[in-house]
Amino acid sequence: MESTPLRITRNTYCIGGPNITDPDDCFIYLVNLDSHLILIDAGIGRSTDRLLANISQLGLNPRNIALLVLTHEHVDHIGGAAPLQSRLKFKIAAHEKAKRVISKGDSNASAAKNYGISLSPTPIDITLDGDAGSVPIGDGSLHYLHTPGHTPGSVVLYFNDGDRRVLFGQDLHGPFNKAWGSNIRQWRTSMKLVLALEADILCEGHYGVYRGKSAVRQFIFGLLNQTA
């Protein structure tokens, strides 16, 4: 990925990540849906000012962020939620299976101990229930799919930006650890569901952006083959 924030599609941006903000951040994405800005993950929590500056650099107003969706329970994705929310007052959403870890600040299941830090409890305002649904912001065109395996509360998000389906598949690659509630059998089933979405663009949590249906499929099949 680039060392500066970038536009991926007309309404999709990358505003953070190891080469953009903090080295421990996941890639952090932003979607513009009819002037409703939706943030996808928040990094580890050391880059609040930089993230806000990056959004402004792209010509967007950070105060238009209506929602932060946390794709799973790990601290490099959720640690920045509380400091960002304190500045911008948006709502935070996560899957029902991730809610306890995030809201209680569980340092084991969130992998915070792996980073040598503690996780502050972060209340969840909107719970994403069940196997699939629409994120309740804007026109409902941003969808979620529950994809347990890496963690119990993992989700992918997707929407159609023009004629291209954009998939936000944070940490499709794993890794797996019993302390986080990982389950490789569930993960393999989840990856088959993700493949069925036939995304044109994949925005992954640590591997960056893959463009084209073939590239997306090859990436996911490669992961499945590695764990065969």
Amino acid at 16: G
Both structure tokens of 94: 């996560």
Q: Which fold has domain 6-226?
A: Metallo-beta-lactamase; Chain A (3.60.15)
pLDDT in tens, the chain (228 residues): 658 999 999 999 999 999 999 999 999 999 999 888 999 999 999 999 999 999 999 999 999 999 999 999 999 999 999 999 999 989 999 999 999 999 999 999 999 999 999 898 999 999 999 999 999 887 779 999 999 999 999 999 999 999 999 999 999 999 999 999 999 999 999 999 999 999 999 999 999 999 999 999 999 999 999 886
Please state the pTM of the whole predicted model. 0.96
What are the residues facing 159 on neighbouring strands? 166
Cβ atoms of 21 and 50 closer than 8 Å: yes
